[in-house]
Amino acid sequence: MMKPLQFPLVLLTVLLLSGCASSQPSANTVSLLGSAGFHLRMPETPKQKEIFATLPSYKIESVIVNNHKYYVYKDETKGMALVGGEPEYQHYLELAREDRASTAHSNMLAANAADTANWRGAGSSDWWQ
């Protein structure tokens, strides 16, 4: 049997790991990238199309073009990419950390509420006897 404190930790770990890798677009990631200042771009030049073709979908990758570092999130389905520089990427990381902390806190509160509800119902059961 799982100890009471272990369940919220296991739940939190599963939720965090499920967001790490995906072959599908994440609306949350796209929203955070937009909030961080990334710009929507379609590959137009042969060089852009070449870079776009080599990038993995739905994952932020760094690329260097003309000695400038860019961060690119490729949406293959739409044929577009979100592109930002170092300042936008650092802002994205900050927003993503805040979002994860907020989600973890909400999940912890929900787990604590469920635990509290379970304990309140235990007083009328035969478990105490």
pLDDT tens-digit profile of 24-80? 777 899 999 999 999 999 999 998 899 899 999 999 999 998 999 999 999 999 999
Q: Is the pLDDT of residue 121 over 90?
A: no
Task: Check residue 16 and give its pLDDT.
Answer: 39
Q: Is the pLDDT of residue 11 over 80?
A: no
Task: Check residue 101 and give its pLDDT.
Answer: 83
Nearest to 87 by CA among 70, 99, 104: 70
pLDDT tens-digit profile of 94-110? 999 998 887 665 666 66
Which residue bears the tokens 């509290």?
116
Q: Please name the residue ranges forming H helices in 2-129.
A: 6-18, 27-35, 46-54, 86-122
Q: Where are the domains of the chain?
A: 40-99
pTM value is: 0.62
